[in-house]
Structure 1
């Protein structure tokens, strides 16, 4: 059966406000039934370069002592959590993801947090996961970030963070089920693959009540106001000079002159959706002849992991800097954090010109 014709995929997006929960329960149902499929999960992780933990059982959405609540909890023979699986489609990361989940895993044995996501979101989500891990490490050092492997981040001698796309993960399990002659499990996996394929490829998902809540409208309005407030605060701090403003069908911008270069401070939902999880962006000047000089001056940003210099493929590969907003703080601190980022950008340009 073509996974695009999946009944589960059709029903989950219409009868459930959270398709991730449907996917979690479906995956748990499949893994609980057969040990060979649980072993297949570990082989899949091993194929990505992640040392597999010793999992003997799975439960769903059980809270840990530090309030972590992973979608799937894999335990070893002693009952200790050794593998968390987090099912993601398009819902954002919670405040506790991934750092609190990683802290909930013991450090004296092989453990892992496996995040499953649509292929279309994988690159953007990997950036956000890495940023959150690195921000946590600046505050405390319970583990070390080691050498990176594709989709795998070493978080300690025996602890890893793994990000994988749904399709190759489920296809690897389905291949194992077929090799076992287990047609029922193969079909169940095909149904789940259909749901994940639908979430990965549907351009406009069915609207849910929360998509139309006043909170979303208020936030979009506030993000637009942040563009103005950040510009005014940066001008007052003499970080930049005031410029013009404008907008398009799906964006709002203000120009900010930094050391003679007219950058654009953008509210851009499209970039938020496709490039990195932040609504605000600093776009390079429209004068392309200045790009090489600015890219050289700002090369320390490009060398960060993940890189803080991105390109917009929809706009002639214009260089961009994602302006990440600080979470859980008052309004003035959100503004000040972005102003500080702009100040750091100015200082790099000044240092290059000196």
Structure 2
């Protein structure tokens, strides 16, 4: 019922689910204990974590960040929990959060299972750039939590919503008889919200409407840019920019070349049967290298046009002409498939574009790429 009401009244995803998590931590001792024990990965023992209490969207005098859930032992922040569905890292995340956590504390990111490695990698890169030294490779524990050790005993961790809820249910005490039902309701919310991000239908891809589909388009762009970042080893996040039309996009640099992936609402439907697009930027390449880049673009578009014609009854997409300002095309999305299949297909599509670039384009000499 809770999942139905959330969908019916269009509530925000992250605040609702993290508020539910806070409710569980405040009303069930086993949940509070399990979440507090996240700090034991660092230097804090049970005598310290037993004092941890959880508050939603806790503010601090030292910064303006509002983490979804904060675990404090008296006035010391030992655990911060940030929930994600389709949204990316904000300017405060993770650096401001890690600065707020006491030495030995933990920042836990909770997200859909397919985002766990991408989100942890992006957060770790931002933390390292801010001076939080990363110690070794991430480690996955038996509960499904991925841990990355940082300086001063702090830990940056990520886990899926499903694994976290399963852990909370397993750790429930015998006298907490209502806890399993409470967790099942939160689990139903998670399933509904995660499904809203990737469960595209063919008619939705052709509809190009606002409302829920606009949100799905933004979420798809977020995930596509994260995939692009993981493939090129860069921490990427989309942003709204004005380039012709408004675009929610991100880009990766490869040896002086630029690949852009994003969501352009004005181009969805007509002419593009996909909310996402890719673009190869000729403006970042000297004139002597543009023919090779355009040849790559044409080969990519030949494959994409064939796929679109197969998926949409002969409706394809004509490649941009040489003289056009941008060389772009639709980034096809799978529809009517499972979440895992959707993400595997998205990753394979982006990897094929990068593969064409890698196979055909020579790195630009230093200083030759244009701004």
Q: TM-score range by the shorter chain?
A: 0.5 to 0.7
The one of 267, 274, 284 equivalent to 1:233 is: 284
Counterparts of 1:115 and 1:35 in 2: how far apart (Å)?
22
Query: Does the CA-based 8 Å contact 1:68-1:100 persist in structure 2?
Result: yes
Deviates more, 1:58-67 or 1:118-127: 118-127
Distance 1:154 1:212 in 2: 34
Cα offset, 1:158, TM superposition? 1.6
User: Which residue of 76, 80, 86 maps to 2:82?
Assistant: 86
Residue 115 of structure 1 pairs with residue 109 of structure 2: yes
Greater relative contact order, per chain length (Cα 8 Å cut-off, separation 6+):
1
Residue aligned with 2:21, SS: helix
Secondary structure of 1:320 counterpart:
helix
Q: Give the corresponding residue for 2:354.
A: 320
Distance change in 2, residues 1:212/1:32 (3 Å): closer
CA shift, 1:12, in A, is 1.8
Determine whether 1:103 maps to 2:99. Answer: yes
Counterpart-to-counterpart distance in 2, 1:9 and 1:45: 31
Provide the TM-score with structure 1 as the length reference.
0.61
Matching residue of 1:67 = 64
Q: Which residue of 2 aligns with 1:218?
A: 246
Structure 2: gaps of 5 or more residues: 140-145, 205-210, 219-239, 248-262, 268-275, 309-315, 367-371
The number of residues matched between the two structures is 269
Q: 1:85 to 1:212 in 2, by over 3 A?
A: closer
2:8 to 4, 14, 18: 14
CA deviation map 1:98-153 (0-9, x unaligned): 1221122223xx2110111111222322232233223x23xxx3x31111232211
Q: 1:255 to 1:51 in 2, by over 3 A?
A: farther
CA deviations on 1:206-241 (whole Å, 9 max, x unpaired) are 94386399979620349999935x323212486984
Q: Aligned with 1:102: secondary structure?
A: helix
Contact 1:239 1:346 (8 Å CA) reproduced: no
The one of 171, 174, 188 aligned to 1:176? 171
Deviation at 1:194, TM superposition (A): 1.3
Alpha-carbon contact 2:42-2:105 (below 8 Å) kept: no
**Which of 149, 154, 167 pairs up with 1:154?**
149
